[in-house]
Chains A and B, each alone.
Chain A
Amino acid sequence: MALLRSDAKDPKTQDAERVARAASEAAKKSRKSSESYWQVSWRIFRKNHVGVFCLGIVVLLVFVALFAGLIAPFDPDAIELTNRLQGPGGSHLLGTDELGRDILSRIIYGCRISLSVGVVSQAIALFIGFFAGVIAGYFGGKVDTVISFVIQVFSSFPFLLFAIVVMFVLGPGLVNLYVALGLLMWTTTARLVRGDVMRLKESEYIQSCVLSGGSSWRIITKHLLPNCVSTLIVTSTLGIPNAIMSEASLSFLGLGVQPPTSSWGAMISASQPYIQVNPTYSIATGVAIIITVMAFNLLGDALRDALDPKMRS
């Protein structure tokens, strides 16, 4: 009897349940209202299907680059002279090149080079660009004049021409490629950060920090850097495809990565004479570059939309 009674829903327990439900709803709501800047950004980003798709591609590319050794069906440098310039199909999925090396494997290993050039050169550019921009924007005056002048000089040269000169001076090679591209690409970041900092340094929370005796270092790291992060993320995401393209161009011209290392630019350059014999050779490599560059560009656009506070309502 007592058992039966506790099963039946008397009005009191119903009330208690309703109150409990309302309380948990309210708790959920209050948790939602306290979501951080990054949670809000992620929520906005998730709605952008192109952006999410490109993020997927980028993750896939990173995965391919990291595990190239496991994924590639052949050794990218294994020469098989009896099997030169094969079309797609057979045991070599995308055919073979002029030395009988598996094109698919070379593209997979090339992904490693391309992504590493993109990421490392952007990391260098980001580091130089952020500090140059912060110093110019924050201290202003003569320092700003000098840094702005340097930025102007760097950006007044045609980019590729400048890159060719730098590579010529440094000599070809992967490490030099990182350095050259990093040294050339910092100006975009520096200019954007300088603008951000000039706007931010007038803000009242920085005045308040100055009044409390906060050092320049504190202002830069605690106030300026966190407020520049979205700019930095967007410029570097959009800078990576630029670096990848430049690497391809320089390798095409023979100033980038040296054989036998496989790089997309070098492969397109090598495939040129055989475009009629084995068109897949150049097309597959080109498609790899296009997909990578487009994925990063569209991801950068989507990130800009999600991170820009002015887009928020």
Chain B
Amino acid sequence: MSSVAENVNDARVVLEVSGLVKRFPIKGGLVRHEIGQVHAVEDVSFVVHEGETFSIVGESGCGKSTTGKCVLRLIEPTSGSVKLDGKEFTTLTGEDLTRERRKMTLIFQDPYSSLNPRMTVGDIIAEPIDIAGIYATREERDARVEQIMEEVGLDLAFKNRYPHEFSGGQRQRIGIARAIVMQPELVICDEPVSALDVSVQAKVINLLKQLQREMGLAYVFISHDLSVVKHISDTVMVMYLGHEMELASKEELFGNPLHPYTKALLDVIPRIRSERVQDKRILEGDVPSPTNPPSGCCFHTRCPFATDRCKSEVPAKHEVTPGHFCSCHLYDN
């Protein structure tokens, strides 16, 4: 294991999620009773340390965004526990919830719909501090806004402009400025670069890394783009149909993937060199519906190594090597 990961493991735990479950009811029929459930997140557990980037990867609809929103309680989790700084977060209400929630923020995927078109850039960035009422005078507040704008690389002249005048990358910087203005401990980045051009992606990723160094932020980085994940993460969790498939440090996961699903995902990263095309394992079929997930291991319908056991028994999460977890019957013993 690399020294970075070791350092990370010694650091303070910021976020501890255990057994997180989210099921959305499907209502129908004459009296609108519950006729089914969407199994969005099924028993997900992980730990995020101070200054760590924890990535959640998976295909569209695998529950990675829902996991992020459940942590923030933008969506209330069905069950499970979320501990922020060692304190249970899921049971908080009212003022307590507001106060604790200020330690976490969210950076959104779409830089176009995440900024109010009728507010100036300065007001957008200042909104969290305005709500919290941190600064007594207008001057102090404006000074803080300007300081943050400089930190994220926005020209101070943009303060009184409106979001529609900016490009995607600049808008994302505004979103980042709004997210960090309250000095959070944990930032949940919900696909923050997938709506941007590749050249702009790099700039935004580097900005995120720089802010992490300067402010000691912990990131939960949600993405489907493995090359971005490889660049930014310390620890990576792979999700499929709401289930946790594999969790390991970045080096372990990319160097020694265990789960057949992870292997398949890594195989389809586009490469310049074409030697490996021969033994590429491309998954067949589609992701099953989360309203009616497969029995046993949820991946057995597409897994090349599936056995009868996989069809009936849900695999438990095993620590195969220290710090490398995998939910697969292949590594049971």
List the interface of chain A (C-beta within 8 A of B): 33-34, 36-37, 203-205, 207-215, 218, 222-223, 226-227, 229, 309
Contact = CB atoms under 8 A, between A and B. Distances in A.
A205 B108 CA distance: 9
B116 A223 contact: yes
B86 to A, nearest CB: 21
Interface in B161-196: 161-162, 164-165, 178, 182
A187 to B, nearest CB: 25
A94 B124 CA distance: 59
A208 B114 contact: yes
Given A33-B165, A34-B165, A208-B178, A227 B116 contact: yes
A227 B117 contact: yes
B132 interface: yes
A213 B182 CA distance: 12
Contact of B132 (A205, A212, A223): A212
Interface SS majority for chain A: helix
B174 to A, nearest CB: 11
Given A34-B161, A34-B165, A37-B117, A208 B127 contact: yes
A213 B132 contact: yes
Contacts of B233: none
Interface stretch (B7-15, B99-107, B143-151, B276-284): B99-107
A309 B118 CA distance: 12
Given A37-B162, A204-B108, A212 B117 contact: no
A33 B105 CA distance: 31
B74 interface: yes
A204 B190 CA distance: 11
Chain B interface category by residue count: 20 to 34
B200 to A, nearest CB: 19
A194 to B, nearest CB: 19
A213 B102 contact: yes
Closest 3 CB pairs of A and B: A213-B98, A204-B114, A226-B118
A223 B105 CA distance: 19
B1 interface: no
B115 interface: yes
B114 A205 contact: yes
Given A34-B160, A34-B162, A223-B116, 12 more contacts: A33-B165, A36-B162, A37-B117, A37-B118, A203-B114, A204-B110, A211-B104, A211-B105, A213-B98, A213-B102, A213-B131, A213-B132
B315 interface: no
B321 interface: no
Contacts of B98: 213
Nearest to B108: A204
19 contacts: A34-B165, A36-B162, A37-B118, A37-B164, A204-B108, A204-B114, A205-B113, A205-B115, A208-B127, A210-B74, A211-B104, A211-B105, A213-B99, A213-B101, A213-B132, A218-B131, A223-B116, A227-B117, A229-B118
